[in-house]
Structure 1
Amino acid sequence: MEANEGRSLSSRWGRPELVAFADRLVTAVRPYASPGHSMIVLPGPEGGYGRRVDGLEGFARTFLLAGFRLAGERGADPDGLADWYAQGLATGTDPSSPERWLRMDEHPQAKVEAASIALVLDLTRPWIWDRLDPVVQERVVAYLSHVVGDDTYPRINWVWFRLVVQTFLRSVGGPFSLGEMAEDLATHDGFARAGGWMADGRERSYDHYVGWALHVYPTLWGRMAGAEEFAAPRREHDTAMLDRYLTDAIHLVGGDGSPLIEGRSLAYRFAAAAPFWTGVIAGVPSVPAGQLRRAATRIVQHFAARGVPDDAGLLSTGWFRRWQGLAQAYSGPGSPYWASKGLLGIALPADHPVWEAPEIPLPVERADTLRVVEAPAWIVSGTREDGLVRVINHGTDHAEPGAMCGDSPLYARLGYSTATFPLLDVASWVSPVDQSVTLLDADGIATHRAGMEVLDLGIADAPVPIAWAASRSSAHWLDPDPVQQNHGYGYTGEAHPAGVLTVVSLVRDRWEVRLVRIDSLAGDAATTLRIGGWPVSGDESRIAGTTGSVRTGRTASVSDGWLVSRITGVLGDTRPGIDSRTGASPLGEFSCTPWTALDPVPGVWMGVLIEFFASTNAGDEGTCTVEELTEAGASLAIRIQWPDGVTTDTRARIGRSSEQPTAGGR
């Protein structure tokens, strides 16, 4: 596929197109079902939890999609979905069947899948549950009842799996615990962070689980038959949290419909559309229904236009095509069907007002955008001309402050976008290069930044919008443990201090001026300071790279003929280079990252201009210079002349501060 193929999605998808897409997905899996329909084992390598879990996932996650389809048609069922899945329910809960499901007390993954089953049984109650044989109903209750009294659920988004199942059990006369239901709600409330955001647990875990789990479940659970007395008093608050989150999330969708490529479980693809449909269901006030619909449908279209599902109608582990490197330890061939959440909109009937709401373009389709998001300490910059959305990250690492673990490429990089993948080969987990600021030892091994401290985050409008963020890290090398549990988090191992680095980002449009100071070095092991830019991936024949003197700085640049990534020195004696590797990205076999190196001199500010844009924006620009850099106490005053000639003055805090800075959104 050409790099820019499908960038513009001229057609508008409505409900008929989404329904046709869903029907293709849900019917394509049937040939892979067991005789009793309880197990759907799809093509692909066996998952880390074995084939019985693979089969249960294949059933439960496609059952979600079937349930949305039935609900949206108010039970009309020309394809016989209700009877087909009802047979699977009867078989899977039969203890004597060779096709029986693993119970929750036999394997923890069954807890996840049980929640999808319970949610759909409630959503489709008149057409499936009410028509089940009473004996089968008793077996379903018995299967789900293992949730009660189970205190082994991780205190992350999994609390919703226990809560949803108990809520359904309560509605059908099964066992439940009001105390455990209240406990799970309280745990969820403890995830709340600034601006409607939530962290998936105690760590700084900001990813798509915020949207497709922590904001989706409160709304769907609140409409379950057994939830009313719990849900009613909190509905206004939960909706307000969702509303505030969506005012940020709507800015994270690219002009081509791509979601932000960051965080674990990315093989779920268009599940990223789920919170936008949830906003429609909840009736949020701040983001219009026509814009929520556009975000959700564009995300699905983004993948549909690029060969998803495959020719057999299946979702493989991957992004556009199968790429097994995107699997986590818990991933099996049925796992990607959590993408079903992104088709939640088809549960809204054809006469729902959202389908006739005026279409409103995404923020990046209307204008250049710039905002800061306080909880994850992100700067979000979108450019209308090329539709790209970039995130500069100073506070997300899936770790706690002060941690000395490895950087996860999925969380701890300094930059993420809607058009680049963080490099995911083994070397990138061990020694970061893309979107990083690292110290190198004599062997060229790079340090990690996980556990960094957020120092500042802000935005100003005059004379032009500019955003800034600052963080400090105890840079450390890592000797990885020989065995790693790949859940998408950073590697574990023995850490060795390298020094303390302060990094300040100043962002305008497609530009970031990144300033770096080495506050201290631990010994003399560090030989080089390296600053890495945006990775570009594709076919090797299309990737071109150049290094050398360009204007007033030394530049490294890579391009795939459409996207351009480059880094130019603006402070210090910089030496450019390009990192090239194969097999590191699902976007293409070949990846290149421009970088620049400097001597590691403590106490001196060094800096680069980092650019990422589409080639339509390329042109002969002016230079970028840091005209003034003045440090006074805990603040740094920075005057920059940008490539377009505009001069800005910014003051950033670089002294010690609280973990969560106060900042506004725009």
Structure 2
Amino acid sequence: MSTTNTQTPEGTPGLLLGHSTRHPFSLVSLSSRSSVQDLLVTLLDPLLPFFSPLKSRIRCPGATAVRFDQTASEIEGLARPLWGLACFLAGGGDYTHKHWWIQGIREGVNEKGKEFWGWARDNDQRMVEMCPLGFALAVVPGLWEGLGEEGQKGVERWLGEGVNEKNMPNTNWLWFRVFANLGLKKNGGKFSQERLDADIEHLESFYRGDGWSNDGPGGIHQMDYYSSSFAIHFLQLLYSKLAGEDEPERAAEFKKRAQIAALDLVHYYDKEGRAIPFGRSVGYRFAMVSFWGALAYADVELPAPLTWGMVKGIVLRHLRWWQTQDNIFSPAGTLTIGYSYPNMYMAENYNSPGSPYWACLAFICLAVPETHPFWTSEEEDPWPTIPAIKPLPQPGHIMSNLGGHCMLLSSGQACSYPMKGTHAKYGAFAYSSAFGYSVPPGLFTLEQYALASQLGFSDDGGEYWKTRRLSTSRLATIEGNPVLVSEWTPFPDVLVTTYLLPPTEAAPNWHLRVHHIRAEGREVMTADGSFAILNERTPDDRYLDPYDSEKCEGTFPKLIGNYDLNTPEAWAPAKKGAFAVSRAGAVGIRALEIEKEGREATLVNADPNSNLMESRTTIPTLQHTIKKGETWWYVTGIYAKPAGEGVKKESFLDGWEKGPEVPEWLKQEMEKK
């Protein structure tokens, strides 16, 4: 293992990653329950040097600020890894430094002590961290007793009295107070059954049907990973396990919803183990698969055709993929803010250095007995038995598993409150497990906006750009095929209707985005972007050269730097399109307009660190100017073929030349308008 050990003043071993070293997380061979236990330990150990003197806080490396106070940030550092540790201990495992967490909890709730956590105020971040603490109290043998009488009283006050009369955000947060009370209840502590019941009853108003809950009340449409693995489904399943004897009907209902949702959620994970990044908080990384471990923990009977071998395969393949992402760690071995590498541009204003450890939800599988079929089954791949294309009415998605990656087409979703990069996290047309979405690292020119899978509009000559954020949408079935239709207005007097069509068996690497645009009140420039792709050539990681058919790498047309955009070689007719090929695969875009022509194809050299997965990317893009009063139809074909096991680089552009067919019904729709 190529790492360097350091020593803290207390003699606790630390981890220092250098130029040619790999994190122990990447070196665990995953197959069994014990190997997943070993994987968790590689995440816990690097935290040890960063405990406070009395162990009540962990100050993870990184001095970035968040919207809440520093103490709450360091409580996150202690509480979030507790998800994994609690599952490990609940499943019969043991960890050498578990007593540090017990001591830390005892000191943190001691209102007279030097490291008191402080009482929760209205809408306080401390409320979130009460959830893993409540869960740990409910499941970890001996934890309550280990706190001692004074520690127990402190926990009763901090979890119960400290939060039950406070205001909370009208979101999944209400589940956190449920678990605070549940943890006390399971140990005979003082808690509020009235508050617990009222919170669950209100959370029921988030339910929309088909197994799906909104992350909030009526009037919003936000169904991201908080609806499944990060919070709502996950915590419903834990609750059904822990409170099922007292509330069998409610537990049965939660399990039933999970069974229904499982047949939708299976479409979010591809054969390589990657999940589709969508929405906020994707920096929680492998927490994306916690739903599947929770199914096993809650003893849910799987709906056909799913098997425990398929569920196990989803979880372990996902963890293995993250093991290949060596850049997710700091030099000290702790998780960083970001996705496939440290990235503050995609971070939310609530992401502290300790926030990424919500990823430890994934280790709920360690609380599942080793005799459970989740562990005893051989890994299986669900894709031969589930449909390649599936519409999901509740989240407003069309799911696809054609062309070497999982992809979702999306319309209508939006975060209910201001969110950095919200148009990219919810308003893009397509999200891929292979290519990830891009966020703007700046707000000046296309290079900074990085409009991957978005249609941008500018009324000032290309300095500032507006994209789809809020839209009304409907999921239609036309000639037996799903179509997403949305209406949106980048400017009040520019009206857009967008049709999203998934790939087909005949053209598995293509999907269609069709836009009817009415520029009623102003002239606008447009930029229609494909997926973003790694912009590094294989020999030396320099930017891609013009496409070389022998090397099977490069771009068409020529990729130009940010300051030479008037170079003729950088542009091509839109019907000929633009593409980029690198070791990550190939992406491209082409105009399929039947009558009018006017768009041009080029490569946008996106600003570094705009994409979640690759720090250097380029975006094949079609550009145009629509005069005031004009109406246009844009018919755009988007090409995507990722690299993968068994995919030869010579095949990256195999489907590019033919392109997809524009269906007859769409041609007729265009003629009508």
Equivalent residues in 2 for 1:83-232, closer than 5 Å: 83-105=99-121, 108-124=124-140, 126-202=141-217, 203-211=220-228, 212-224=230-242, 228-229=245-246, 231-232=247-248
Identity of aligned residues (%): 21
Query: SS of the residue aligned with 1:193?
Result: strand
CA distance in 2, matches of 1:538, 1:18: 34
Query: Is 2:69 the counterpart of 1:54?
Result: no
**Residue of 405, 408, 411 corresponding to 1:394:** 411
Shift of the 33–374 alpha-carbon distance from structure 1 to 2, 3 Å rule, reads same
Tell me the residue number matched to 1:446: 465
Tell me the residue number matched to 2:424: 409
Tell me the residue number matched to 1:279: 295
Query: Is 2:82 the counterpart of 1:63?
Result: yes
Q: Which moved more, 1:560-569 or 1:420-429?
A: 420-429
CA apart distance, 1:460: 6.2
**Residue of 310, 313, 316 corresponding to 1:297:** 316
CA distance in 2, matches of 1:38, 1:326: 29
CA apart distance, 1:604: 4.2
Tell me the residue number matched to 1:545: 555
Q: TM-score, normalised by structure 1?
A: 0.82
What letter is aligned with 2:635?
G
What letter is aligned with 2:284?
Y
CA apart distance, 1:396: 1.8
Query: SS of the residue aligned with 1:592?
Result: strand
CA apart distance, 1:351: 2.5
Shift of the 271–459 alpha-carbon distance from structure 1 to 2, 3 Å rule, reads farther
CA distance in 2, matches of 1:458, 1:14: 43
**Residue of 615, 618, 626 corresponding to 2:662:** 626
Deviations 1:72-125 (A, max 9, x none): 11xx536251x222211221111122212122138701111112111101111x
Tell me the residue number matched to 2:475: 456
Tell me the residue number matched to 1:534: 531
Tell me the residue number matched to 2:635: 607
CA distance in 2, matches of 1:25, 1:422: 26
CA apart distance, 1:412: 0.9
CA distance in 1, matches of 2:636, 2:86: 52
**Residue of 51, 72, 77 corresponding to 2:94:** 77
CA apart distance, 1:503: 0.8
Tell me the residue number matched to 2:37: 19
CA distance in 2, matches of 1:630, 1:328: 39
Deviations 1:582-619 (A, max 9, x none): 22124333221111124437444331111111253422
CA apart distance, 1:554: 2.6
CA distance in 2, matches of 1:22, 1:249: 25
Query: Is 2:374 the counterpart of 1:354?
Result: yes
**Number of paired residues?**
593
CA distance in 2, matches of 1:586, 1:435: 14
Structure 1 unmatched runs, 5+ = 2-8, 477-496, 639-653, 656-666
What letter is aligned with 1:578?
L
Given that 2:450 and 2:607 are in contact with CA atoms closer than 8 Å, whether structure 1 keeps it comes out as: no
Deviations 1:376-406 (A, max 9, x none): 21111113x63x1111112222249xx9998
Shift of the 392–36 alpha-carbon distance from structure 1 to 2, 3 Å rule, reads same
What letter is aligned with 2:606?
R
Shift of the 325–531 alpha-carbon distance from structure 1 to 2, 3 Å rule, reads closer
Query: SS of the residue aligned with 2:437?
Result: coil
CA distance in 2, matches of 1:382, 1:630: 23
CA distance in 2, matches of 1:452, 1:204: 10
Given that 2:63 and 2:353 are in contact with CA atoms closer than 8 Å, whether structure 1 keeps it comes out as: yes
CA apart distance, 1:145: 1.9
Shift of the 240–597 alpha-carbon distance from structure 1 to 2, 3 Å rule, reads same
Given that 2:211 and 2:260 are in contact with CA atoms closer than 8 Å, whether structure 1 keeps it comes out as: yes
Tell me the residue number matched to 1:555: 577
Structure 2 unmatched runs, 5+ = 1-18, 20-26, 545-553, 558-569, 643-648
Query: SS of the residue aligned with 2:358?
Result: helix
Deviations 1:620-655 (A, max 9, x none): 6424453745687xxx389xxxxxxxxxxxxxxx99
Query: SS of the residue aligned with 2:457?
Result: strand
What letter is aligned with 2:638?
I
Deviations 1:515-557 (A, max 9, x none): 1112x33412x33333221111354625443238989923011
Tell me the residue number matched to 2:498: 503
CA apart distance, 1:142: 1.4
Query: SS of the residue aligned with 1:516?
Result: strand
CA distance in 2, matches of 1:154, 1:85: 28
Given that 2:345 and 2:441 are in contact with CA atoms closer than 8 Å, whether structure 1 keeps it comes out as: no
CA apart distance, 1:349: 2.7
CA distance in 1, matches of 2:421, 2:53: 45
Deviations 1:485-538 (A, max 9, x none): xxxxxxxxxxxx1411011122222211221112x33412x3333322111135
Shift of the 92–595 alpha-carbon distance from structure 1 to 2, 3 Å rule, reads same
Given that 1:470 and 1:504 are in contact with CA atoms closer than 8 Å, whether structure 2 keeps it comes out as: yes
CA apart distance, 1:165: 1.0
Query: SS of the residue aligned with 2:390?
Result: strand
Given that 1:510 and 1:612 are in contact with CA atoms closer than 8 Å, whether structure 2 keeps it comes out as: yes
CA distance in 2, matches of 1:333, 1:448: 30
CA apart distance, 1:335: 0.7
Given that 2:346 and 2:420 are in contact with CA atoms closer than 8 Å, whether structure 1 keeps it comes out as: no
Q: TM-score, normalised by structure 2?
A: 0.81
Given that 2:516 and 2:631 are in contact with CA atoms closer than 8 Å, whether structure 1 keeps it comes out as: yes
Tell me the residue number matched to 1:340: 360
Shift of the 210–117 alpha-carbon distance from structure 1 to 2, 3 Å rule, reads same
Query: Is 2:68 the counterpart of 1:40?
Result: no
CA distance in 2, matches of 1:630, 1:382: 23
Tell me the residue number matched to 2:591: 569
What letter is aligned with 2:32?
G
Given that 2:473 and 2:485 are in contact with CA atoms closer than 8 Å, whether structure 1 keeps it comes out as: yes
CA RMSD of aligned residues (A): 3.1
What letter is aligned with 1:418?
S
Query: Is 2:607 the counterpart of 1:582?
Result: yes
CA distance in 2, matches of 1:148, 1:368: 45
CA apart distance, 1:262: 1.3
Query: SS of the residue aligned with 1:143?
Result: helix
CA distance in 1, matches of 2:422, 2:430: 13
Query: Is 2:343 the counterpart of 1:323?
Result: yes
Given that 2:410 and 2:429 are in contact with CA atoms closer than 8 Å, whether structure 1 keeps it comes out as: yes
Tell me the residue number matched to 1:516: 515
CA distance in 1, matches of 2:233, 2:47: 28
CA distance in 1, matches of 2:204, 2:285: 27
CA distance in 2, matches of 1:391, 1:428: 26
What letter is aligned with 1:152?
N
Query: SS of the residue aligned with 2:365?
Result: helix
Shift of the 392–34 alpha-carbon distance from structure 1 to 2, 3 Å rule, reads same
Runs of 4+ off more than 6 Å: 365-368, 403-406, 548-552
Query: SS of the residue aligned with 2:590?
Result: strand
CA apart distance, 1:224: 3.0
What letter is aligned with 2:91?
G
Query: SS of the residue aligned with 1:588?
Result: coil
CA distance in 1, matches of 2:479, 2:161: 54
CA distance in 1, matches of 2:283, 2:131: 20
Shift of the 20–619 alpha-carbon distance from structure 1 to 2, 3 Å rule, reads same
Shift of the 339–405 alpha-carbon distance from structure 1 to 2, 3 Å rule, reads closer
Tell me the residue number matched to 1:663: none
Q: Which moved more, 1:98-107 or 1:278-287?
A: 98-107
